[in-house]
């Protein structure tokens, strides 16, 4: 009998006989070697969702993950990392998507914790020629790309795989373009035939009123209702007065009209609704506000659409792979879509509106067309520097081959007694750029972190306190509306209609009072959160110091740099106000 020893630990058989293959005797137990356990294949998942299709990001991520797992789990694969872009259009190339670009950077890292990448749906991941521009990176770093429609990893040498992925990119582009055409055609038809209010803030002089249930049964079942424009009892009179003054005095100056309105104590459009216009100056009427009113055709009672369009323009004509950026452009007046009949209260006749446009063109230096204000020159403090007189953002101005910042408040707004403002306020960028970078270099050093935390703890704004302040502003707005409605009632307006307006404002005021009572007290940002913010802010400060002038503006804004220039003191006050972690948008790995 052949001697056999069984190793109980490994369950393998050692045969000490000299014969290479000995048949077991009848009744003897046969123990087979156990199969070797292979390591599981580790995957990184990539998905994307855009809010344009009204999908829930969490639900979209869930079904894309489900499709990806259904592909890899039968092959004993497991997802160990997630990269999911939210609110990013499919037309944006991978290097400009936050999480897709982060995935590309992970591919370059040899210490990455995954062996392959899987996507949930190619329509979501690739658009147009994006696959042909992205897959060579996967191929270069030898990271397989798994796609459900292919049934596994893409074979770089398989022409059928390459053709299929190219088709998916074309279908994705065609689907997006088809949706754009359908939406624009539907909006044009609704405007022309129905004159339906299509959204947006109502123009000054109008307010929104209920227009019945939504015509779509599903949306009506959800409680959605249509809106329409109705003349505001007070602001509509101001609009009529502006048109009358401009036409009767044959093109009275816009600044002259703005100064007259300010002198009479009539609140400007921003001051009439401060809750929606916290970013605008509310001290006086500006000539741009008067110009906007005179040029708005909706005051004729017709609904207008297609005054602007979105054009996709190449970011760099020498590097097409960077993709396009969206630019708003003004359409010619011949391309505007007008409703076929009057759909809301008319504040001016069509004849008077056309007469006002003729006067505008006759006074303008050539034909008046609205144009953008792009600048190819770098301004490091773009959007960060404010004027100490009027608190408005200072505008960039290139002069003598140098960057300047200026504020021309008196040339745009009517003169008011509450503000003593020079005609022009100038500041040269070079005078403060070195000082700001030097301050950033020393303010966030490790030895000063503790003292900076103490200062920020004392100065940090409580978000609940800010919310309470916003509610108080809204309550003040309700009080002003009630006073205006009562004045309109005293002036002889329709009592029933004004009473409805007053009741609506009272209900809104009651809701705001209830919300104010439910605000918790004393919930601020903890010291640990401030320390984490300062750690990230310090890295960003070093980047801003060493960055090119073209990139400094974006880095300063991410840093939270806020500056105010006080010309009378020759002082620039600089602060860093980073956003709280629950507000700040940070690119991180692992889902949304």
Last residue of a domain, one of 484, 500, 517: 517
* Judgement on whether residues 67 and 147 belong to the same structural domain of the protein: yes
Cβ atoms of 135 and 105 closer than 8 Å? no
pLDDT digits 0-9 by tens, 522-564: 445 566 666 666 665 566 566 666 777 667 777 787 777 888 9
Cβ atoms of 351 and 359 closer than 8 Å? no
Q: How confident is the model at residue 285 (pLDDT cuts 50, 70, 90)?
A: confident
Cβ atoms of 427 and 569 closer than 8 Å? no
What's the DSSP call for residue 192? I
- Element (H or E) spanning 582, and its range? none
Separation between Cα atoms, residue 366 and residue 24, nearest integer Å = 107
Separation between Cα atoms, residue 381 and residue 403, nearest integer Å = 10
* Judgement on whether residues 94 and 210 belong to the same structural domain of the protein: no
Q: How confident is the model at residue 448 (pLDDT cuts 50, 70, 90)?
A: low
The yes-or-no verdict on residue 28 having pLDDT over 80 is no
Cβ atoms of 38 and 32 closer than 8 Å? no
Separation between Cα atoms, residue 377 and residue 583, nearest integer Å = 31
* Mean predicted confidence (pLDDT) in 480-505: 80
Separation between Cα atoms, residue 493 and residue 231, nearest integer Å = 12
DSSP output for 424-459: -EEEETHHHHHHHHHHHHHHT-GGGHHHHHHHHHHH
How far does the chain reach from its first CA to its final CA, in angstroms? 68
The yes-or-no verdict on residue 96 having pLDDT over 80 is yes
Residue 116, pLDDT score: 95
Asked whether residue 545 is assigned to any structural domain, the reply reads: yes
Q: How confident is the model at residue 326 (pLDDT cuts 50, 70, 90)?
A: confident
Q: Which residue in 128, 131, 159, 124 sits closest to 145, CA to CA?
A: 131
Separation between Cα atoms, residue 280 and residue 307, nearest integer Å = 23
Separation between Cα atoms, residue 239 and residue 290, nearest integer Å = 9
Question: Could you give the number of structural domains in the chain?
Answer: 4
Average pLDDT, the chain: 79
* Judgement on whether residues 107 and 151 belong to the same structural domain of the protein: yes
* Coil, strand or helix at 62: helix
The yes-or-no verdict on residue 567 having pLDDT over 90 is no
* Judgement on whether residues 69 and 214 belong to the same structural domain of the protein: no
Cβ atoms of 365 and 541 closer than 8 Å? no
Asked whether residue 266 is assigned to any structural domain, the reply reads: yes
Q: Which residue in 592, 575, 579 sits closest to 533, CA to CA?
A: 579
Asked whether residue 404 is assigned to any structural domain, the reply reads: yes
Q: Which residue in 48, 44, 43 sits closest to 592, CA to CA?
A: 48
Asked whether residue 591 is assigned to any structural domain, the reply reads: no
* Judgement on whether residues 429 and 560 belong to the same structural domain of the protein: yes
Q: Which residue in 356, 422, 412 sits closest to 387, CA to CA?
A: 422
* Mean predicted confidence (pLDDT) in 184-190: 91
Asked whether residue 231 is assigned to any structural domain, the reply reads: yes
Residue 542, pLDDT score: 66
Q: Is the dihedral of CA 287, 292, 294, 299 positive or negative?
A: negative
* Mean predicted confidence (pLDDT) in 171-195: 90
* Mean predicted confidence (pLDDT) in 260-276: 83
Cβ atoms of 257 and 290 closer than 8 Å? yes
Which value, in Å, is the radius of gyration of the alpha carbons in the chain?
Answer: 33
Question: Which stretch of 44-48, 152-156, 212-216, 377-381 has the lowest confidence by average pLDDT?
Answer: 377-381
Separation between Cα atoms, residue 78 and residue 76, nearest integer Å = 7
Backbone angles phi, psi at 238, to 5 degrees: -65, -40
* Judgement on whether residues 350 and 396 belong to the same structural domain of the protein: no
Q: How confident is the model at residue 1 (pLDDT cuts 50, 70, 90)?
A: very low
The yes-or-no verdict on residue 16 having pLDDT over 80 is no
* Judgement on whether residues 100 and 143 belong to the same structural domain of the protein: yes
* 571-576/561-566 β-pairing: antiparallel
Separation between Cα atoms, residue 543 and residue 548, nearest integer Å = 10
Cβ atoms of 82 and 115 closer than 8 Å? no
* Judgement on whether residues 468 and 448 belong to the same structural domain of the protein: no
* Judgement on whether residues 530 and 436 belong to the same structural domain of the protein: yes
* Judgement on whether residues 123 and 224 belong to the same structural domain of the protein: no
What's the DSSP call for residue 295? T
Asked whether residue 504 is assigned to any structural domain, the reply reads: yes
* Coil, strand or helix at 572: strand
Residue 399, pLDDT score: 84
Residue 368, pLDDT score: 42
Residue 370, pLDDT score: 46
The yes-or-no verdict on residue 10 having pLDDT over 60 is no
The yes-or-no verdict on residue 24 having pLDDT over 60 is no
Cβ atoms of 129 and 169 closer than 8 Å? yes
Residue 533, pLDDT score: 60
The yes-or-no verdict on residue 372 having pLDDT over 50 is no
Q: How confident is the model at residue 435 (pLDDT cuts 50, 70, 90)?
A: confident
Separation between Cα atoms, residue 425 and residue 381, nearest integer Å = 16
Range of the domain at 69: 41-176
Residue 508, pLDDT score: 83
Domain CATH for 121: 3.40.50.1390
Residue 416, pLDDT score: 57
The yes-or-no verdict on residue 394 having pLDDT over 70 is yes
Asked whether residue 4 is assigned to any structural domain, the reply reads: no
Maximal C-alpha separation, the chain: 125
The yes-or-no verdict on residue 350 having pLDDT over 80 is yes
Separation between Cα atoms, residue 541 and residue 335, nearest integer Å = 48
* Judgement on whether residues 46 and 169 belong to the same structural domain of the protein: yes
Separation between Cα atoms, residue 592 and residue 590, nearest integer Å = 7
* Higher per-residue pLDDT: 52 or 443: 443
Residue 578, pLDDT score: 60
* Higher per-residue pLDDT: 474 or 73: 73
Last residue of a domain, one of 474, 489, 517: 517
Domain CATH for 276: 3.90.1750
Residue 6, pLDDT score: 40
Q: How confident is the model at residue 445 (pLDDT cuts 50, 70, 90)?
A: low
Residue 26, pLDDT score: 47
Residue 592, pLDDT score: 25
Helix-, strand-, coil-residue percentages of the chain, each rounded to 5: 45, 15, 40
Last residue of a domain, one of 497, 517, 537: 517
Contacts of 168 (CB under 8 A, 6+ apart): 122, 123, 126, 131, 149
Alpha carbon 462 to chain centroid, angstroms: 24
* Judgement on whether residues 529 and 419 belong to the same structural domain of the protein: yes
* 77-86/116-119 β-pairing: unpaired
The yes-or-no verdict on residue 303 having pLDDT over 50 is yes
Separation between Cα atoms, residue 72 and residue 151, nearest integer Å = 9
Burial of 127 (0-12, 13-18, 19+ CB in 10 A): buried
The yes-or-no verdict on residue 287 having pLDDT over 60 is yes
The yes-or-no verdict on residue 5 having pLDDT over 50 is no
Separation between Cα atoms, residue 26 and residue 89, nearest integer Å = 71
* Mean predicted confidence (pLDDT) in 376-386: 82
* Mean predicted confidence (pLDDT) in 142-156: 93
Residue 583, pLDDT score: 39
- Return the percentage of the chain with pLDDT > 70, whole number: 76
* Higher per-residue pLDDT: 19 or 453: 453
| Chain position carrying tokens 């803030």 | 201
Asked whether residue 16 is assigned to any structural domain, the reply reads: no
Question: Which stretch of 57-71, 364-378, 414-428, 472-486 has the lowest confidence by average pLDDT?
Answer: 364-378
The tokens for 184 are: 């624009």
Cβ atoms of 395 and 407 closer than 8 Å? yes
pLDDT digits 0-9 by tens, 239-260: 999 999 998 877 568 888 888 8
* Mean predicted confidence (pLDDT) in 441-449: 65
The tokens for 284 are: 């006086």
């Amino acid at each position: 009998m052949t001697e056999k020893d069984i190793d109980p630990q490994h369950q393998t058989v050692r045969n000490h006989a000299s014969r290479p293959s000995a048949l077991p005797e009848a009744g003897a137990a046969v123990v087979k070697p156990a199969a070797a356990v292979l390591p599981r294949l580790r995957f990184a998942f990539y998905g994307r969702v855009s809010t344009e299709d009204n999908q829930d990001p969490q639900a979209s991520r869930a079904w894309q993950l489900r499709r990806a797992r259904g592909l890899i789990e039968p092959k004993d694969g497991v997802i160990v990392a997630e990269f999911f872009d939210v609110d990013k259009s499919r037309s944006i190339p991978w290097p400009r998507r936050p999480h897709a670009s982060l995935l590309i950077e992970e591919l370059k890292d040899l210490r990455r914790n995954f062996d392959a990448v899987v996507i949930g749906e190619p329509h979501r991941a690739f658009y147009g020629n994006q696959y042909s521009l992205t897959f060579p990176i996967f191929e270069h770093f030898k990271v397989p790309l798994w796609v459900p429609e292919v049934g596994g990893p893409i074979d770089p040498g398989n022409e059928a795989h390459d053709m299929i992925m190219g088709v998916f990119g074309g279908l994705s582009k065609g689907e997006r373009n088809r949706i754009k055409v359908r939406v624009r055609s539907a909006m044009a038809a609704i405007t022309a035939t129905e004159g339906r209010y299509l959204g947006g803030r109502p123009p000054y002089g109008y307010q929104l009123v209920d227009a019945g249930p939504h015509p779509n049964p599903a949306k009506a079942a959800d409680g959605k209702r249509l809106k329409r424009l109705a003349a505001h009892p007070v602001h509509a009179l101001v609009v009529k007065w502006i048109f009358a003054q401009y036409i009767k005095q044959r093109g009275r100056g816009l600044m002259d009209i703005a100064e007259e309105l300010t002198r009479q104590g009539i609140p400007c459009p921003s001051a009439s609704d401060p809750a929606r216009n916290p970013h605008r100056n509310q001290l006086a009427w500006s000539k741009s506000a008067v110009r906007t009113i005179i040029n708005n055709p909706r005051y004729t009672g017709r609904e207008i659409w297609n005054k602007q369009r979105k054009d996709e323009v190449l970011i760099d004509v020498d590097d097409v792979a960077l993709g396009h950026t969206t630019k708003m452009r003004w359409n010619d007046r011949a391309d505007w879509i007008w409703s076929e009949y009057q759909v809301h209260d008319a504040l001016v006749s069509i004849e008077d509106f056309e007469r006002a446009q003729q006067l505008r063109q006759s006074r303008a230096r050539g034909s008046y067309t609205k144009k953008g204000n792009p600048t190819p020159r770098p301004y490091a403090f773009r959007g960060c520097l404010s004027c100490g007189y009027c608190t408005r953002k200072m505008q960039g101005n290139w002069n003598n081959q140098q960057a300047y910042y200026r504020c021309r408040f008196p040339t745009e707004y009517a003169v008011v007694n509450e503000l003593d403002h020079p005609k022009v306020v100038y500041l040269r960028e070079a005078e403060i750029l070195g000082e700001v970078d030097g301050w950033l270099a020393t303010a966030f050093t490790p030895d000063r972190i503790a003292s900076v935390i103490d200062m920020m703890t004392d100065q940090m704004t409580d978000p609940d306190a800010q919310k309470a302040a916003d509610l108080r502003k809204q309550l003040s707005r309700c009080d002003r509306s009630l006073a205006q409605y009562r004045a309109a009632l005293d002036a002889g307006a329709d009592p029933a209609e004004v009473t409805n307006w007053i009741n609506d404002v009272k209900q809104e005021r009651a809701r705001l009072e209830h919300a104010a009572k439910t605000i918790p007290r004393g919930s601020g940002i903890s010291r640990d959160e401030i320390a984490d913010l300062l750690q990230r802010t310090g890295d960003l400060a070093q980047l801003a110091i060493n960055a090119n002038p073209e990139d400094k503006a974006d880095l300063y804004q991410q840093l939270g740099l806020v500056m105010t220039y006080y010309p009378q003191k020759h002082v620039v006050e600089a602060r860093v106000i980073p956003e709280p972690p629950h507000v700040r948008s940070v690119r991180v790995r692992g889902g949304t």
